[in-house]
Amino acid sequence: MFFAAAEPSSADYSTTGVVGGPHPFTYTIKCAPGDSFEVTIGSDYATSVDILALTPDSRAQGGWAVNSVASSRQKTSHTLSYAAPAGKPANNAAYWHYKISILASTNKQTKFSLKIIQHGSGGSRSKAYVEQAKKQLQTLGKAIQNERNRLSAELKRRSDRIKSIDEEQKRKKESLERELAELERLDQAIRNEKNKAARSSMQQTLKSRTDRYNASVESYNKTRAARKALYDEYQALKERRGEIDTLREALREALGRNDIDRCVIIANGSRLALGLGWKTMKR
């Protein structure tokens, strides 16, 4: 297949935040039958973490019964994993729902980071699903490579232009420094000149040269502003190319394990992939 090779993908979830008091931070994960996920949490003070299974139940408040299926208590670092059952929920819903709960274990406001990586089982996928996924992945791979090539060309153009501007600006700066030194010497000469007529002529010359110098400084500053705007464009393009590379590596890694389901999870959740023409696949 097109991918020679994994991003913590945009389909996965990561965030940072602050938690404290009796109210936990929560995040809900939706899993197709057989999906598994890994949860990693770090914090500056101890927290307690639960993976809570949510089961539709009209008798429960909010319509959900909640049951802890995995937990880790009062630590600053947690790693938990869980796999959804292979069959559909009792109400025949398409997905199982789980909630990650992070609760502060102290009275202090606690900064935390959360990362979730989800994997598909692939075990119950139909042949048509697999073939469609492979077809879309091939198309996505070509779009990724084309976009990367375009970005690399744009980056080179801007890099070359920035280099040219920097070289020209260096020459202009040296010229401005020389001219400023000349203006300062002329100003001092005017101060020392006793002859009024000669001093008046020198003052006219100083004014004319100062006007030209100020115009050159203004031009230099405008070019510097244009160079900054060009550099900002360069950085934005470089960042997008980095996102392209991260997405590509995530898909390559999953394909290396023949995990088509993981590829679909990544692409479905990636705004970048969707922007490159990926059509969301129902799992």
Q: Tell me the C-alpha distance between 246 and 261, whole Å.
A: 18
The C-alpha angle with vertex 27 and arms to 22 and 28, in degrees rounded to 5, equals: 130
Same structural domain, 113 and 167: no
Banded model confidence at residue 93, pLDDT cuts 50, 70, 90 = confident
Q: Tell me the C-alpha distance between 10 and 270, whole Å.
A: 5
Residue 131 CB coordination number (10 Å):
11
Task: Report the pLDDT value the prediction gives residue 7, as an integer from 0 to 100.
Answer: 38
- pLDDT tens digits, 161-198: 999 999 999 999 999 999 999 999 999 999 999 999 99
Task: Report the pLDDT value the prediction gives residue 259, as an integer from 0 to 100.
Answer: 87
Average pLDDT for residues 67-81, to the nearest whole number? 96
Residue 204 CB coordination number (10 Å):
10
Same structural domain, 152 and 269: yes
Pairing of strands 13-19, 96-104: unpaired
Name every residue whose Cβ is closer than 8 Å to that of residue 253 and which is 6 or more positions away in sequence: 5, 6
Domain boundary among 124, 151, 183: 124
Domain for residue 188, yes or no? yes
Same structural domain, 110 and 191: no
What's 117's domain CATH number?
Answer: 2.60.120.680
Integer angstrom CA distances of residue 100 from 51, 58, 85, 256, 282: 5, 22, 17, 29, 24
Same structural domain, 74 and 144: no
Same structural domain, 42 and 148: no
Same structural domain, 147 and 111: no
Domain count, the chain: 2
Domain span including residue 163? 136-275
Query: Which of 57-71, 82-96, 269-283 has the least mean pLDDT?
Result: 57-71
Banded model confidence at residue 64, pLDDT cuts 50, 70, 90 = confident
- pLDDT tens digits, 40-63: 999 999 999 999 999 877 665 557
Q: Which two tokens stand for residue 121?
A: 């089982």
Domain for residue 8, yes or no? no
Q: Would you give the end-to-end CA distance of the chain in angstroms?
A: 21
pTM, entire model: 0.71
